[in-house]
Structure 1
Amino acid sequence: MNKKILIATLSLFLSLTAFAQRPDAKKVTISGKVIEKGTDFPLEYATIVFENAKTKQLSGGITDENGNFKFEVSAGNYNVRVEFISFKTLPLQQKEFNTDTNLGVIQMAADVAQLNEIEVIAEKSTVEIKLDKRVYNVGKDMMVKGGTVSDVLDNVPSVTVDAEGTVALRGNENVKILIDGRPSGLAGINIADALKLLPADAVEKVEVITNPSARYDAEGGGGIINIVLRKGKANGVNGSIMVNAGDPETYGTSINLNKKSDDYNLFSNFGYNYRNNPGNSMVDAEYYNSDGTTKNFINERRTNDRLSEGFNANFGIDLNLSKSLTWTNALTFRENRGKNPDNVFFYNFDSGFNPTSTRNRFNDQRSDEFSIEYASNFVKKFKKDDHKLTVDIAISQNRENEFATISDQILGNPSSLDTEETSNTQKQQRNLIQADYVLPIGKNGRFEAGYRGSFLNNLTDFTVTPDDSNFSNTLEYIENVNALYMQYGSKIDKFSYFFGLRFEDSNIEVNSLTENDYNTKKYNNLFPSATFNYEFSESSSVSLSYSKRINRPRGRFLNPVSSLSSNINIFQGNPDLDPSMTDAIDLGYLKKWNKLTFNTSAYINITNDSFQFIRRESGLFATTIVDGEDIVDPVTGDVTPIGGTDIRTPVILSTPINLAKEYRAGFEFNLNYTPYKWWRLNGNFNAFRSETQGDYSYVDYLGNTINQNFDNVAFTWFARINSKVTLPYKIDWQTNGTYNAPQTNAQGKSLGVASMNLAFSKDILKDKGTIALNVSDVFNSRKRIMETEIPNVVSSYSEMQWRERQVMLTFTYRFNKQKNERDRQPRREDNGGEGDFMGRP
């Protein structure tokens, strides 16, 4: 930002304070809209300066995301000018303002000379803190160069990604993840796995919506994360090329190409990547007899190399059919092949910790996946500002095949070798149609209504060779959801409100074709939402919001069998699971100073029928046949005499059920602080308490009644801080530190874990190129560490590291596109235009 604008901003702040001290002065309302000349795109954060002709005192305001402005000044004679970074200052004639005045639509022209002097906005990674959501602009984030979307999310305030890639919002894993505002076929069947494969360079920004309005899909008890993919935006032909290489062996490339004119915008993205993500885990377990004495020990050591090779491409065109009608078409596909050799050793010891035997289980996994999606979007704008109709259509297909060859034996005993093969093939078809209508009413009112139809069909075929009917299964999942919504909001002085109601009709089929077991669930639900906001000033406001959410079980939660990595501990889905319902309340406060933005919120989530996991005996046994020697049971340590041929190990099932009522309450705050032009900081802190209440009883295969109590109270917190410093010679240095505090559960606790990422970057080739070096998990400390204690059964200590430390070198070259080129594409109004009267500064 140049000195002129800094001085104007400071003067504006001081004069507003002075004017606020003159309650006797007559106030008039000034309004209007600022757009870019030639494109009619609205300019957000443009400054309208009112300079008193006599006193030279300054007052005025800034535009919102739609280019609109509205503020009060004391009646009088003013010289008016409109200012915006990289645009020519637009002076207006001296004028007397004694009544409310609408200045109409103001057009500003870009200043080419300034474009070469100012710092880039679009290329910088920033966090925009707003009352209803937080927007993380990926920009030039060195931390994620050459990484994946999963890496991007792990840098977003309020969002965490654990060692296995599971995404949580404020510690709640029941979060809905959208791509470009809708459930996407690109995310495939397993969203966590898909996020690890999509390249970070394809992402423009991430929107975090903790308490969505009725306009959004009701899915996701913890909120919504919307990933907005990158699309070319500058006029003419332009683009960028990125190549990267790293250790462990990783390399890839990404190409963005764009051609834009007044009538159309062609955009495309191509990417290739090869990644090796080695991981490891360990479990040290002590087993007990029924009287509490030690029975035996088993130490488990696991290593795996997650190898993936993928290609993705996106083609699209925006057609400006008229000044009021835009039609966008896009075709996207992704292909990925992977290998995951998983090698596990079980070291068995007796009660005195003397070695007895070693067992090795090797799981050679292979996979291939292909996704394709066609999306079409129509936007019809009417004469009145913000009066429009939007229609979206998306059709996608996803195919995922996983194969594994599993060998299991006691070392030194060839006759104990047992080999089996598994095949897991999945096909998914998803169709989506959505229409949204926005109608401004009066001066500040807004009415919205819409329809959304989501139609999903997923077929999973899991087989085990040699044939085992206990585990092989074909599952068909069909989900048809039709939704209608309407909402209305308005603003009265400094108070604004928003009410919404969503109706969803759900028709779900979960069919086990192998077992001839068919489950159909039909239910209708109403999802109300409400938001209230009060502005104390232009830089300070408070909000209160409520929404009702739903979390539908899918995938492995429903499939009776989806893997067989272990033959004694089986995860088994439950086809009869019902959805859980959440009531969410959020109280937020936002305050902005010159160099600091502070946002804090307190929240409560109450969930009925939440999913809980039970562990129970199946009545099945894994059997190892051995001839001619004394052998030791790999699990219990029991000795079988010479000539024994049958070791029977019980198979334990872990199954989700609808059981508990969950209360989750927390507090968080976010800070954006720029102490100096060369130093930017942002931080996030979240602390929450989770309470679960519920009991479960079942009859085991021996006829015994088993009771399990799930009452548990857990408290934990996590913190993240990100610092970016510009060093001499224009070298950027970025540091990211995260700490996840310990958390208790019904059977133990997870320990606290700290981790840090580090990155450096330097612009070269007259700012057309950038070279970046980043180190992910500098101290190789990012793990999931657990302590488990089940009285008179087992105590264990475990560590799991999904990905070891990684070093990445990345080079980016931009052609026909300067580093400081500003985005001029209008934002897609994913928030439904609520910001017009929700009091956003």
Structure 2
Amino acid sequence: MKKPLLLLLCLLTSTFLLAQRPSQKGVSITGKIVDAKTNQPLEYATIVLKNTRTQKISGGITDETGAFKISTPKGTYEISVEYISFKTIKLAVQEISSNKNLGIIKLTEDASSLDEVFIIAEKSTVEIRLDKKIYNVGKDMTVKGGTASDVLDNVPSVDVDPEGTVSLRGSENVRILIDGKPSALVGLSGADALKQLPSDAIERVEVITSPSARYDSEGTAGILNIILRKGKASGFNGSISVTVGDPKNYQTAVNLNLRTEKINIFSNFGYSDNGGPGVYNSDITYLSNGSIDSLRIENRDNERFRKGFNGNFGLEYFLNKKSSITGTIFLRDSDGQNISTNNISSFDPSNTNLYNSTRIQDEDEIDQTIQFSLNYTNNFNENGHKLTLDFQHSANREIENAIIIDTNPETNATNELSLDNLLQADYVLPIGKNSQFEAGYRGSFQDLTSDYLVIAPNLDPEYNPSNNLEFTQNVNAFYTQFGSKINKFSYLLGLRAEITNIDIKLINTNEDYTKKYTDLFPTLNFGYELTEDQSFTLGYSRRLRRPRSRYLNPFENRASETVISKGNVDLDPTYTNSFDLGYLNKWGKLTLNSSIYYQHSTNNIARINSQEVRIINGKETNILVRQPINLSSEDRSGFEFTANYNASKKVKLSGSFNFYQFETKGEYVYNVTDLATNVSTPVTQNFDAKNNSWFTRFDAKITLPWNIQSQTRIFYRGPKNDAQSNVKGILSANLAFSKDILKDKGTLVFNVSDVFNTRKYQVESYAPSRENPTNITDQTFQRRMRQISLNFTYRFNQKKNQRGRKSGQRENSGGDGEF
């Protein structure tokens, strides 16, 4: 009898206890988030719910109308609303037992934030900080299916010429970083490597024209910091992108991310198969005592083909709420072929044909890169007290083999291997509420070998450029900086010391070069907010430009016998003092950001044209040699502005303009040898020159019927002249249309790059000087023809253009923690 009674008692007790459990039926929380100043809805604002009993965190984000609807179990919640550069609102703790509408919640801009002063909404987002500007890639349709070069070419203040060379404010002396650090992703030859990094892997580009002491001093014009995409949304999500185009352009990009409470796995994979024609034409007029001696016409057609895979895989492990370890591995494996057919004709002064020949260069290239990165981040508290440690190792190999078919055939091969290691430590200590102290160390260590072999039986051994170069560069840097904000005035003062050791060995000629120098680089940055809509910034920094290994390697490019490019092993670094005054103003729908800048450089590195006499086809021929040298000085000043005008929800306009003036001073003395008499004659070239140039960019985004988005971009770079050349202006236009499909999970983008096929580099060069030339060269170069492409992107478990976490949350983006 006792056992049945005991069993019955247990059943009744269980039933009673179960009856006391709260109902798990969910409720809905709704509302709308708007900008308190403009009453415009804030898309992708974050609503955070924290259950006070279970401490479980959930929430959601707003849609394009600023509305949100969150399903959650009944309970008592702490509710907060967050949005980038806006003050977080925390609502009173409240019990929610039924559906609840929180109404309209208005957020105000966080004008007192030290590291986020202003933000302009949507795609053309411009964040102005005390020492940098940030341009978010966002919904830029014209770069869909493109590369990192295409992204940079659409960033205000930046220009990418037809050869792929990146310049900032008209200067090529720019440092390109990946996630705040030097990276193998930029490669041994930055222009070609950037063409292999898909645009879908890039989240934003930071333009730093007045770098703080935290950044290395490399790059006299400033720094471009490319931030790669990393998964930030909870759960498993990603996207797949496919592109087809003409000329041949097949690309696939996959982004996969998984984020939980303890780990964050992020990855980007891409495969490309590209090919297309290019043109390089050169008309050379040879002069003797001011009269035409002969003419040489070279019409070179290039066919470039490249297949490549790149992958970036990372794992972030959260040790606790304040610290994490992140490991990343990057792989790139590509191979390319470049077939150059150079049709050569020579004429006498009466235009009688002397001879014709064809020089064909068939070059194969293999580019392999592997990079490991390890990061430790410890956020001691929520006030910004932080320690980060970084280690990075990379290996980059480039192998090129070329067969040249000509009257005198030859072969050449290049094998380059670069091993790079980086150690970095950064410490940030907030002092009080509005001040901050920083200190850190960075060690960069590079070992590079380059073996260049030319086999040309008919080439005079004196002119055979075969060599084996060993290059070692070690840079140890220490920095400290202090910043504070006093009411509307803020400042950031820093000092960086760099110790550089360079060793260069030319094995074939048994030459050794050693360069050691220790330098101090002060930085000053000031900011003043007149009102919430107006602010001034003033910056000063001392910078340098170290010659890269390719600038030092004296090997010759053999695509042409008469126009030769080579390096200069005895280059010294360029030093620059840079000043920048910026102004930002917002008038309702119009935002204007402008700057005035001045730079003074000594030991300026410039590529110049000099003259040599060689025997070609049995005749003495003047050769044009292009190589870098150190000139005495360069002064550069300019003005730029960027404007954004949101006329309506369907029309958004933006434009930028940059005007700059430069003055170079210096002379170069070299000898020209008369092959008949073996007598050398010194030639003095004066490079004193003063000129100016400008470039402008206009962008229009318009919503068409059926919710089709259109984007038009027009770019013009004005003519530019220096001591030895006249460069003509370049006009180009891009056009794109996009349409969201599959309930906004998919997007189709139709893109036409260089609509009028006018992106050509045209230059007239004089050697050895304008005043007394022995040859005048007219060159036309077009690396890529008009490109038409169609891109399809499919997203799963993520919203289009989903925003990341607000600054200050647990996240490391490699350099995104500036004061």
Q: What amino acid maps onto 2:553 in structure 1?
A: N
Which residue does 2:242 correspond to in 1? 243
Which residue does 1:156 correspond to in 2? 155
Kindly state the Cα deviation for residue 134 of structure 1 after the two structures are TM-superposed.
Answer: 2.4
CA distances 1:130-172 after superposition (whole Å, capped 9, x unpaired): 5532222222321111111111110001000001000000001
Residues 1:223 and 2:222 are matched in the alignment: yes
Alpha-carbon spacing, 1:521–1:732, altered in 2? closer, same or farther (3 Å): same
Which residue does 1:403 correspond to in 2? 401
Q: What amino acid maps onto 1:756 in structure 2?
A: A
Which residue does 2:143 correspond to in 1? 144
SS at match of 1:9: coil
CA distances 1:187-234 after superposition (whole Å, capped 9, x unpaired): 221111101111111111111111101010100001000111112221
Query: After superposition, where does 1:414-493 map in structure 2 within 5 Å?
Result: 417-466=407-456, 468=461, 470-493=464-487
Alpha-carbon spacing, 1:792–1:488, altered in 2? closer, same or farther (3 Å): closer
- 2:721 corresponds, among 713, 727, 744, to 744
- 1:501 corresponds, among 495, 506, 527, to 495
Which residue does 1:285 correspond to in 2? 284
Kindly state the Cα deviation for residue 647 of structure 1 after the two structures are TM-superposed.
Answer: 3.2
Tell me how far apart the structure 2 counterparts of residues 455 and 229 of structure 1 sit (CA, whole Å). 23
Which residue does 1:323 correspond to in 2? 321
SS at match of 2:553: coil
Alpha-carbon spacing, 1:450–1:89, altered in 2? closer, same or farther (3 Å): farther
Question: Any conservation in 2 of the 1:282–1:301 contact (CA below 8 Å)?
Answer: yes
Which residue does 2:567 correspond to in 1? 573
Question: Any conservation in 1 of the 2:179–2:815 contact (CA below 8 Å)?
Answer: no
Query: After superposition, where does 1:5-24 map in structure 2 within 5 Å?
Result: 8-10=36-38
Question: Any conservation in 2 of the 1:135–1:206 contact (CA below 8 Å)?
Answer: yes
Tell me how far apart the structure 2 counterparts of residues 466 and 737 of structure 1 sit (CA, whole Å). 46
Which residue does 1:611 correspond to in 2? 605
Which residue does 1:675 correspond to in 2? 647
SS at match of 1:201: helix
What is the TM-score with the length of structure 1 in the denominator? 0.82
- 1:564 corresponds, among 558, 575, 590, to 558
CA distances 1:75-102 after superposition (whole Å, capped 9, x unpaired): xxxx999xxxxx996999xxxxxxxxxx
CA distances 1:620-677 after superposition (whole Å, capped 9, x unpaired): x3443xxxxxxxxxxxxxxxxxxxxx33435443332222200000000011211101
Question: Any conservation in 2 of the 1:131–1:589 contact (CA below 8 Å)?
Answer: no
Which residue does 1:601 correspond to in 2? 595
Alpha-carbon spacing, 1:740–1:815, altered in 2? closer, same or farther (3 Å): same
Question: Any conservation in 2 of the 1:80–1:91 contact (CA below 8 Å)?
Answer: no
Question: Any conservation in 2 of the 1:42–1:66 contact (CA below 8 Å)?
Answer: no
Which residue does 1:811 correspond to in 2? 792
Alpha-carbon spacing, 1:394–1:39, altered in 2? closer, same or farther (3 Å): farther
Alpha-carbon spacing, 1:822–1:215, altered in 2? closer, same or farther (3 Å): closer
CA distances 1:679-722 after superposition (whole Å, capped 9, x unpaired): 11221110000000112223333232211100001101000011
Q: What amino acid maps onto 2:294 in structure 1?
A: N
Question: Any conservation in 2 of the 1:771–1:810 contact (CA below 8 Å)?
Answer: yes
Tell me how far apart the structure 2 counterparts of residues 756 and 306 of structure 1 sit (CA, whole Å). 23
Tell me how far apart the structure 1 counterparts of residues 300 and 187 of structure 2 sit (CA, whole Å). 27
Which residue does 2:15 correspond to in 1? none
Tell me how far apart the structure 2 counterparts of residues 39 and 509 of structure 1 sit (CA, whole Å). 56
Which residue does 2:11 correspond to in 1? none
Tell me how far apart the structure 1 counterparts of residues 537 and 102 of structure 2 sit (CA, whole Å). 35
Q: Give the unaligned 5+ runs of structure 2.
A: 1-29, 41-45, 51-55, 63-80, 94-99, 106-111, 114-119, 674-678
Which residue does 2:66 correspond to in 1? none
Alpha-carbon spacing, 1:42–1:285, altered in 2? closer, same or farther (3 Å): farther
Tell me how far apart the structure 1 counterparts of residues 792 and 389 of structure 2 sit (CA, whole Å). 39
Alpha-carbon spacing, 1:783–1:617, altered in 2? closer, same or farther (3 Å): closer
Q: What amino acid maps onto 1:494 in structure 2?
A: K
The alignment of Structure 1 onto Structure 2 pairs a total of residues equal to: 728
SS at match of 1:573: coil
Question: Any conservation in 1 of the 2:541–2:578 contact (CA below 8 Å)?
Answer: yes
Which residue does 1:272 correspond to in 2? 271
CA distances 1:51-87 after superposition (whole Å, capped 9, x unpaired): xxxxxxxxxxx999677689xxxxxxxx999xxxxx9
Which residue does 1:526 correspond to in 2? 520
Kindly state the Cα deviation for residue 506 of structure 1 after the two structures are TM-superposed.
Answer: 0.6
Kindly state the Cα deviation for residue 321 of structure 1 after the two structures are TM-superposed.
Answer: 0.8
Alpha-carbon spacing, 1:394–1:813, altered in 2? closer, same or farther (3 Å): same
- 2:775 corresponds, among 794, 815, 832, to 794
Alpha-carbon spacing, 1:146–1:356, altered in 2? closer, same or farther (3 Å): same
RMSD of aligned Cα (Å): 3.0
Tell me how far apart the structure 1 counterparts of residues 31 and 192 of structure 2 sit (CA, whole Å). 47
Question: Any conservation in 2 of the 1:34–1:68 contact (CA below 8 Å)?
Answer: no
Kindly state the Cα deviation for residue 407 of structure 1 after the two structures are TM-superposed.
Answer: 1.5
Q: What amino acid maps onto 1:10 in structure 2?
A: T
Tell me how far apart the structure 2 counterparts of residues 43 and 452 of structure 1 sit (CA, whole Å). 39
Tell me how far apart the structure 1 counterparts of residues 286 and 602 of structure 2 sit (CA, whole Å). 35
Tell me how far apart the structure 1 counterparts of residues 574 and 84 of structure 2 sit (CA, whole Å). 36
Query: After superposition, where does 1:533-552 map in structure 2 within 5 Å?
Result: 533-552=527-546
Tell me how far apart the structure 1 counterparts of residues 218 and 103 of structure 2 sit (CA, whole Å). 46
Question: Any conservation in 1 of the 2:363–2:400 contact (CA below 8 Å)?
Answer: yes
Which residue does 1:378 correspond to in 2? 376
Tell me how far apart the structure 2 counterparts of residues 154 and 668 of structure 1 sit (CA, whole Å). 16
- 1:517 corresponds, among 497, 511, 518, to 511
Tell me how far apart the structure 1 counterparts of residues 197 and 471 of structure 2 sit (CA, whole Å). 25
What is the TM-score with the length of structure 2 in the denominator? 0.84
Question: Any conservation in 2 of the 1:127–1:672 contact (CA below 8 Å)?
Answer: no
SS at match of 1:153: helix
Tell me how far apart the structure 2 counterparts of residues 269 and 5 of structure 1 sit (CA, whole Å). 32
Tell me how far apart the structure 2 counterparts of residues 565 and 781 of structure 1 sit (CA, whole Å). 24
- 2:334 corresponds, among 320, 326, 336, to 336
Which residue does 1:202 correspond to in 2? 201
Which residue does 1:641 correspond to in 2? none
SS at match of 1:418: coil
Tell me how far apart the structure 2 counterparts of residues 599 and 225 of structure 1 sit (CA, whole Å). 18
SS at match of 2:631: strand
Kindly state the Cα deviation for residue 365 of structure 1 after the two structures are TM-superposed.
Answer: 0.8
Question: Any conservation in 2 of the 1:622–1:651 contact (CA below 8 Å)?
Answer: no
Kindly state the Cα deviation for residue 816 of structure 1 after the two structures are TM-superposed.
Answer: 1.9
Question: Any conservation in 2 of the 1:567–1:622 contact (CA below 8 Å)?
Answer: no
Judge which range, 35-44 or 150-159, deviates more.
35-44
Tell me how far apart the structure 1 counterparts of residues 800 and 386 of structure 2 sit (CA, whole Å). 34
Kindly state the Cα deviation for residue 421 of structure 1 after the two structures are TM-superposed.
Answer: 0.3
Question: Any conservation in 1 of the 2:322–2:378 contact (CA below 8 Å)?
Answer: yes
Tell me how far apart the structure 1 counterparts of residues 343 and 174 of structure 2 sit (CA, whole Å). 35
Tell me how far apart the structure 1 counterparts of residues 126 and 818 of structure 2 sit (CA, whole Å). 19
Alpha-carbon spacing, 1:548–1:313, altered in 2? closer, same or farther (3 Å): same
Alpha-carbon spacing, 1:595–1:755, altered in 2? closer, same or farther (3 Å): same
Q: What amino acid maps onto 1:661 in structure 2?
A: S
Which residue does 1:55 correspond to in 2? none
Q: What amino acid maps onto 2:487 in structure 1?
A: D
Tell me how far apart the structure 2 counterparts of residues 42 and 751 of structure 1 sit (CA, whole Å). 53
Question: Any conservation in 1 of the 2:523–2:542 contact (CA below 8 Å)?
Answer: yes
Tell me how far apart the structure 2 counterparts of residues 64 and 492 of structure 1 sit (CA, whole Å). 25
Residues 1:699 and 2:666 are matched in the alignment: no
Kindly state the Cα deviation for residue 811 of structure 1 after the two structures are TM-superposed.
Answer: 0.8
Tell me how far apart the structure 2 counterparts of residues 595 and 302 of structure 1 sit (CA, whole Å). 50
Which residue does 2:635 correspond to in 1? 663
Tell me how far apart the structure 2 counterparts of residues 89 and 597 of structure 1 sit (CA, whole Å). 32
Residues 1:735 and 2:712 are matched in the alignment: yes
Tell me how far apart the structure 2 counterparts of residues 281 and 518 of structure 1 sit (CA, whole Å). 36
Question: Any conservation in 1 of the 2:34–2:104 contact (CA below 8 Å)?
Answer: no
Q: Identity across aligned pairs (percent)?
A: 46
SS at match of 1:151: helix
Which residue does 2:74 correspond to in 1? none
Q: Give the unaligned 5+ runs of structure 1.
A: 13-32, 45-61, 71-78, 82-86, 93-102, 105-119, 409-416, 625-645, 836-841
Question: Any conservation in 1 of the 2:745–2:799 contact (CA below 8 Å)?
Answer: yes
